[in-house]
């Protein structure tokens, strides 16, 4: 058979079609869960924590993935997310090496599979045509354990790996670690307190709800003589001033190797929310807790100034004020640049929102080491607590801001040997009264057994839901959609203190929210310049109006007997009035001009970005095509000349 050009071309086309289908079939079989992760934060890479959890499963776990294939056809976002979840689960099953059984179920309407999904706690999202989309996961172990993700919300995609791995982890844990909570904040009732709780309207803080999901929580109130022996970690969160008996109990807990997570605040806005019967703070609320356990912090070698909060200009949160939006330097939005990237607690966090924070400092003669987890930038200023009480003026705080150049520690590890805050033993009133049936206190310890392990945070407002989460209602259930990593930070700290590290790397897979840093810096510089010019012009305009009113008043005053009206003002004063009027018009015009220029740089940058997006990419593609065409033409001519 003689191969002509047309025969070769036809055979090539046929072989290309065969190769195309072969490559697709091979890829679907062998590379269905493979992915190349080019994101900066590694959003789609399975972490070592997940691999460790799956490879060390003590018993088989069954995962049932319910996804409505047919009903989701019209919803491309849900369908794409469903494919990602399915691929990730297949990857989990491969890593687990046979100890993870995966079942993929399509619960069609009115089918037995739909009944199973509903019975096991999977929630169906209604569609306009009356059908329901089921998109959830049920995990079971060989005993009676069952954990459920009712519905995979797209808003929680960055937490997907943690949600699935945490579900598996819960199924393999013998018992939850126990957390003892000492707080004056209404964690379990929300800011409405007991009044709303009794009326059935309580909304517990969502960080507390997430803690309760993963840990056994016991409130220790704020007056006790010992920490129960089964407590793994004590969390002290903005307590009222604790008496010596309670401080001694906490002191001895630390001396015996107990671990503590402590939140102290020079000014807690959360505790002062107007949720009382007439809008006043809840009864017994404490505005400051910086010195509420002062004997303990002194023995730990740390201190928080109770008279000042730390303002951070380049990390200020944007707030509504006077019908406009302003930077409020007392509310801080920390970024990746403010976190210790080498510590597992903060290594993969991206954003933490805080308010009226304090600064942690090491005291003279401290025997401990202070290892910062969260720090401010150096664009800081200490602000008197009195200036943030009530209804502070963000513009005034920004105008009065003077950069200190000092970085303040907001959260830190406190580690090392510690001597008891009560070297003489239990304080009066700590030991049980003679003749009672109460168990005697354990033997007094004067120093720690080994190194203490404490995490101290100079803020309590990070628990405020409005700072970090958007709560969505789904079939009567509250679902947390985080906008910052406040909960991740708290949960990571507890996990680390309880000794479990595998889940820490899963809390935050990085945020898909990439802020326009250049735009934000331009805006801040423009607003600072605007505020300075505005203040100068306002002062000049006020002085001009005052002087003008004074001269006008003299003109309109009643003349003295025998004097003519025009004699009230001299020609020089009349000229001064005209001058002040002209200055007033000029000043008002300048003020309007400053206001117009406020967004000039930002708008110019936006125009450049739009031009780049609209024109540059097509020009680059077109230019590349022209270069390739010219290269091929030149090569073709060279080949023809050679022949």
Q: What is the per-residue pLDDT for 231? A: 96
Q: Do residue 187 and residue 155 come from a single domain? A: no
Residue 390: inside a domain, yes or no? Answer: no
Question: At 140, which CATH number?
Answer: 3.40.30.10
Q: Give me the phi and psi of 164, to 5 degrees please.
A: -75, -45
What is the domain count for the chain? 5
Tell me which residue has tokens 């967004």.
599
Q: Do residue 294 and residue 411 come from a single domain? A: yes
CA 118 vs CA 70, 123, 141, 311: distances in Å: 18, 7, 19, 50
Asked if 549 and 577 touch (Cβ cutoff 8 Å), the reply is: no
Residue 528: inside a domain, yes or no? Answer: yes
Q: What is the per-residue pLDDT for 523? A: 64
**Averaged pLDDT for residues 142-166:** 86
The pLDDT confidence band at residue 512, using thresholds 50, 70 and 90, is very low
Q: Do residue 204 and residue 94 come from a single domain? A: no
Residue 334: inside a domain, yes or no? Answer: no
Tell me which residue has tokens 């664009």.
379
- Per the structure block, which two tokens stand in for 142? 């060989």
Contacts of 114 (CB under 8 A, 6+ apart): 107, 108, 124, 132, 134
**Mean pLDDT for the chain?**
83
In this prediction the pTM is 0.64
For 579-632, the pLDDT digits (tens) are 767 776 777 677 677 666 666 666 776 677 777 767 776 788 788 878 887 877
What dihedral do alpha carbons 319, 325, 329, 332 form, nearest 10°?
A: 40
Q: Do residue 467 and residue 583 come from a single domain? A: no
3-class state of residue 596 by DSSP: helix
Q: Do residue 459 and residue 548 come from a single domain? A: no
Residue 325: inside a domain, yes or no? Answer: no
Q: How far apart, in whole angstroms, are the C-alpha atoms of residue 65 and residue 98? A: 17
Q: What is the per-residue pLDDT for 498? A: 87
Residue 338: inside a domain, yes or no? Answer: no
For 222-263, the pLDDT digits (tens) are 999 999 999 999 999 999 999 999 999 999 999 999 999 999
Q: What is the per-residue pLDDT for 313? A: 95
Domain final residue pick, 482, 497, 514: 514
Q: Which of 358, 542, 364 is nearest to 456 (CA)?
A: 358
Beta strand pairing status for 178-183 and 146-149? Answer: unpaired
Q: Do residue 419 and residue 278 come from a single domain? A: yes
Q: Do residue 15 and residue 61 come from a single domain? A: no
Domain final residue pick, 100, 130, 163: 163
Q: Do residue 225 and residue 187 come from a single domain? A: yes
Strand partners, 384: 308
Residue 404 has pLDDT above 90, yes or no: yes
Q: Do residue 194 and residue 269 come from a single domain? A: yes
3-class state of residue 4 by DSSP: coil
- Per the structure block, which two tokens stand in for 152? 């995979």
Q: Do residue 110 and residue 63 come from a single domain? A: yes
Q: How far apart, in whole angstroms, are the C-alpha atoms of residue 178 and residue 175? A: 9
Residue 463: inside a domain, yes or no? Answer: yes
For 155-187, the pLDDT digits (tens) are 778 778 888 998 998 888 778 899 999 999 989
Residue 394: inside a domain, yes or no? Answer: no
Q: Do residue 11 and residue 91 come from a single domain? A: no
* Residue 366: domain span: 177-304+359-375+406-427+443-514
Q: Do residue 235 and residue 364 come from a single domain? A: yes
Residue 387: inside a domain, yes or no? Answer: no
Q: What is the per-residue pLDDT for 29? A: 62
């Amino acid at each position: 058979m003689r191969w002509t050009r047309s025969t070769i071309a036809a055979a090539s086309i046929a072989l290309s079609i065969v190769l195309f289908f072969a490559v697709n079939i091979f890829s679907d079989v062998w590379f269905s869960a493979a992915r190349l992760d080019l994101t900066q934060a590694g959003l789609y890479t399975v972490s070592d924590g997940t691999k460790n959890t799956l490879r060390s499963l003590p018993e088989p776990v069954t995962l049932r993935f319910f996804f409505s294939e047919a009903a989701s056809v019209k919803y491309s976002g849900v369908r794409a997310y469903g494919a990602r979840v399915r691929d990730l689960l297949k990857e989990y099953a491969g890593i687990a090496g046979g100890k993870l059984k995966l079942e993929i179920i399509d619960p069609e309407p009115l089918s037995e599979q739909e009944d199973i999904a509903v019975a096991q706690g999977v929630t169906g999202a209604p569609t306009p045509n009356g059908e329901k989309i089921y998109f959830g996961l049920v995990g079971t172990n060989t005993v009676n354990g069952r954990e459920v993700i009712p519905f995979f919300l797209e808003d929680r995609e960055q937490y997907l790996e943690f949600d699935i791995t945490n579900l598996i982890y819960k199924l393999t844990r013998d018992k939850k670690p126990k957390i003892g909570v000492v707080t004056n904040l209404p964690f379990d009732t929300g800011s409405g307190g007991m009044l709303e709780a009794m009326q059935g309207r309580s909304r517990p803080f969502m960080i507390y709800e997430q803690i309760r999901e993963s840990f056994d929580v016991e409130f220790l109130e704020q007056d006790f003589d010992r920490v129960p022996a089964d407590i793994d970690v004590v969390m002290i969160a903005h307590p009222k001033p604790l008496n010596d008996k309670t401080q001694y109990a906490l002191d001895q807990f630390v001396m015996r190797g107990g671990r503590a997570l402590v939140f102290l605040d020079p000014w807690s806005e959360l505790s002062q929310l107007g949720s009382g019967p007439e809008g006043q703070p809840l009864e017994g609320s404490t505005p400051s807790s910086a010195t509420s356990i002062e004997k303990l912090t002194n023995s730990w070698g740390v201190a928080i100034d109770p008279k000042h909060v730390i303002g951070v200009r380049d990390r200020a949160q944007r707030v509504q004020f006077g019908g406009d939006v302003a930077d409020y330097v007392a509310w801080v939005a920390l970024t990746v640049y403010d976190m210790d990237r080498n510590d597992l607690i903060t290594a993969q966090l991206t954003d933490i929102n805080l308010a009226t924070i304090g600064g942690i400092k090491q005291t003279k003669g401290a025997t401990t080491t202070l290892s910062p987890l969260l720090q401010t930038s150096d664009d800081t200023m200490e602000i008197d607590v009195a200036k943030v009480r009530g209804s502070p003026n963000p513009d005034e705080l920004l105008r009065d801001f003077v950069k200190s150049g000092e970085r303040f520690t907001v959260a830190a590890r406190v580690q090392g040997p510690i001597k008891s805050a009560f070297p003489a033993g239990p304080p009066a009133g700590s030991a049980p009264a003679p003749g009672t049936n109460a168990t005697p206190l354990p033997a007094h310890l004067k120093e720690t057994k080994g190194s203490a392990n404490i995490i101290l945070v100079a803020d309590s407002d990070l628990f405020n839901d409005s700072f970090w989460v958007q709560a969505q209602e789904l079939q009567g259930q509250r679902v947390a959609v985080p906008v910052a990593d406040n909960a991740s930070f708290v949960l990571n700290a507890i996990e680390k203190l309880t000794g479990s590290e595998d889940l820490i790397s899963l809390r935050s897979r990085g945020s898909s929210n990439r802020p326009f840093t250049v735009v934000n810096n331009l805006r801040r510089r423009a607003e600072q310049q605007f505020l300075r010019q505005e203040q100068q012009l306002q002062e000049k305009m006020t002085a001009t109006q005052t002087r003008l009113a004074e001269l006008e008043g003299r003109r309109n005053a009643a003349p003295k007997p025998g004097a003519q009206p025009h004699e009230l003002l001299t020609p020089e004063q009349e000229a001064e009035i005209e001058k002040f009027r002209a200055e007033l018009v000029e000043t008002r015009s300048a003020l309007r001009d400053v206001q117009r220029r406020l967004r000039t740089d930002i708008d110019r940058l936006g125009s450049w970005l739009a031009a780049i997006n609209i024109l540059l990419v097509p020009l680059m593609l077109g230019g590349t095509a022209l270069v390739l065409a010219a290269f091929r033409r030149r090569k073709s001519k060279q080949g023809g000349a050679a022949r």
